[in-house]
Amino acid sequence: MSFLILRDIEKKYVVDKPVLRGFNLNVAAGEIVCLLGSSGCGKTTLLRLLAGLEVVDGGELRLDGTDIRKQAPHRRRIGFMFQDHVLFPHMNVGTNIAYGLHMQGWSRDVISTRVEELLKMVRLPGFAKRGIHELSGGEGQRVALARGLAPNPRLMLLDEPLASLDRKLREELVQEVKELLQEMSMTALYVTHDHEEAYAIADRIALMHGGKVIREDTPQELYRDPGSAYAARFLRMGNLFPCLGSDFGLLPSWLKQNLDFKGTEAHVLIRSDSLLASPLQENQREIEVPIRVRSTTFRGRYYEMQLDAFDFYTPNRSWPLTLDLAATDASPLFLAKLEAKGPEAEILTIYLDVSRIQLLEK
């Protein structure tokens, strides 16, 4: 049986506007699961329900085999890390970390050893006497993590803990947090809206939409097959074209020829990395696509290209297409070819990798 079981969780603040409806999730001991979703999808609410800061309206909530729905938050032994650290301003770093240990009635010298140990773990040795206001954003979050982990909670909840930090620090800290959680074999639920952060930290990602989990898988598997148009859009995977009926509706002919579709409703995903810089590889099919360049934006590691794709069978229609061209593939010759822009420009041909084109059925 799973360590944490959430079954059919319901929660609403306003009548007829449920925040969570039929939320299901199982978490194994020692697993780091990431709740990924856009703002307002109910992921923070779920953490607050788990911590006991909100009351569950319906459903089952089991931690280590026991029903915790009726337990007061201070008896649950569930750690919580807030978005903006919420350290107690009238205490210093050390007393903040010791707070939860005092609550469990640890003795004084054991506490001070434990505090030093945790400060070492979050790479802030010797910070115990510092005031809260002297800490930088990253240090504050490290102390908050140490404070949450200090009493050895049964489950650690992290609510967008890195959202208020700048990108570079966030990428560094994600790695640290993950290592720390793994080192302590901590079961953790990590909430974020940033899919790259989720890929980096999670053993498993639970993608949330409309108050429930719509997809649950490892980061690699989720990336390989998003499963739905919503997921593909949320994970910013590339271009999506709706197709209706078995004749693929209004798709360009070069796409239709390469699809095998039996259903009635689906989306075609053309990943933004499906552009081939050098066509014609052995044993591989590629698609020839007539295009006109609208704009090219240099993004460092790649060029982002806004294109209009055409189909010679329906000359009056065009399909917007956004593709990334890896900077290493962007030979001067290729770029020069794409130099001509605008409605007057000549129509060019590019090649797409068929293996990067996917059909997402409903």
Partner 1 sequence: MWAAAPAVFLAVFYFFPLARIFWVSFEPGGVGDTGYAPDFSYWGRILEFTIRQSVVSTMATLATGLPIAWWIHHSSGSSKKWMLSLLTVPFVMPAVVVGAAFTALVGPNGLFNQFLMSLLSLEHPPLNLLHSFTLVVIAHLFYNVSVVVRIVSNFWDQLDSRQVAAASTLGAGTWSRLWSIEFPLLLPGLLSAALLVFLFCFSSFGLVLILGGLEFTTLEVEIYRQAVSFFNLRVATALSLLQLAVTFLVMNLHTRLQSESSRPGVLAMEPESERLTQMPRPLVRFLSIFMWLAILILLSPLIALLLRSVTLGHSLFSLQHFVGLFRNSVNNAFLASPATAIGNSLKYGLAAAASSLVLGLCMTFTVHCAPKRLGHLLDPLFLLPLGTSTVTLGLGYILAMGQMRTSAWLVPIAHSLIALPFVLRILLPTIRGLSPALKEASAVLGASPLLTWWRVELPLLVPALVVALVFAFLASLGEFGATLLVARPQHPTIPLMIFRALGRPGLANLGQALALSTILMVLSASSMLLLDHLPGVSREF
Q: How far is the CB of 78 from partner 1 (least distance, A)?
A: 6
Work out whether 75 is an interface residue with partner 1 (CB under 8 A).
yes
9, 56, 80, 199: which one binds partner 1 (CB under 8 A): 80
Q: Judge contact between 160 and 193, C-beta under 8 A.
A: yes
Hunting for tokens 């689906």 — which residue is that? 266
Stretch of residues binding partner 1 (CB under 8 A), selected from 4-12, 49-57, 162-170, 270-278: 49-57
Site for partner 1 in 53-72 (CB under 8 A): 53, 72
Q: How far is the CB of 284 from partner 1 (least distance, A)?
A: 54
Q: Which is nearer to partner 1, 130 or 154 (CB)?
A: 154
Site string for partner 1, 144-183 (x = CB under 8 A): ---xx--x--------------------------------
Work out whether 78 is an interface residue with partner 1 (CB under 8 A).
yes
Q: Which is nearer to partner 1, 88 or 313 (CB)?
A: 88
Q: How far is the CB of 57 from partner 1 (least distance, A)?
A: 19
Site string for partner 1, 219-238 (x = CB under 8 A): --------------------
Other residues' Cβ atoms within 10 Å of the Cβ of residue 104: 11
Count of residues of this chain found to bind partner 1 when the rule CB under 8 A is applied: 26
* Residue 195 to residue 174: CA distance in whole angstroms: 12
Q: How far is the CB of 256 from partner 1 (least distance, A)?
A: 52
Work out whether 106 is an interface residue with partner 1 (CB under 8 A).
no
Rg of the chain, C-alpha, whole Å: 25
Work out whether 79 is an interface residue with partner 1 (CB under 8 A).
yes
13, 88, 298, 313: which one binds partner 1 (CB under 8 A): 88
* Residue 121 to residue 119: CA distance in whole angstroms: 5
Stretch of residues binding partner 1 (CB under 8 A), selected from 82-90, 123-131, 219-227, 263-271: 82-90
Stretch of residues binding partner 1 (CB under 8 A), selected from 45-53, 111-119, 255-263, 347-355: 45-53
Q: Which is nearer to partner 1, 156 or 352 (CB)?
A: 156
From 208, 266, 201, select the one nearest 234 (Cα to Cα): 208
* Residue 204 to residue 27: CA distance in whole angstroms: 9
Q: Under 8 Å CB-to-CB from 10, ≥6 apart: which residues?
A: 18, 20, 21, 22, 23, 56, 57, 58, 59
Q: Which is nearer to partner 1, 62 or 77 (CB)?
A: 77
Hunting for tokens 């709740």 — which residue is that? 35
Q: Which is nearer to partner 1, 6 or 87 (CB)?
A: 87
DSSP codes, 127-179: -TT-BGGG--HHHHHHHHHHHHHTT--SEEEEESTTTTS-HHHHHHHHHHHHH
Hunting for tokens 């003795």 — which residue is that? 107
β 348-353/286-298 pair status: antiparallel
Work out whether 100 is an interface residue with partner 1 (CB under 8 A).
yes
Q: Where are the alpha helices (DSSP H) in the chain?
A: 43-51, 93-103, 108-121, 137-149, 167-183, 195-201, 219-224, 229-234, 253-256, 332-337
Stretch of residues binding partner 1 (CB under 8 A), selected from 1-9, 74-82, 109-117, 165-173: 74-82
Angle between helices 137-149 and 93-103 (to 10 degrees): 20
How far is Cα of residue 232 from the mean position of the Cα atoms in its chain? 12
Q: How far is the CB of 103 from partner 1 (least distance, A)?
A: 4
* Residue 160 to residue 46: CA distance in whole angstroms: 13
Q: How far is the CB of 352 from partner 1 (least distance, A)?
A: 46
How far is Cα of residue 134 from the mean position of the Cα atoms in its chain? 31
74, 167, 285, 341: which one binds partner 1 (CB under 8 A): 74
Work out whether 82 is an interface residue with partner 1 (CB under 8 A).
yes
Residues at the contact surface with partner 1, assessed by CB under 8 A: 51-53, 72-80, 82, 84, 86-90, 99-100, 103-104, 147-148, 151
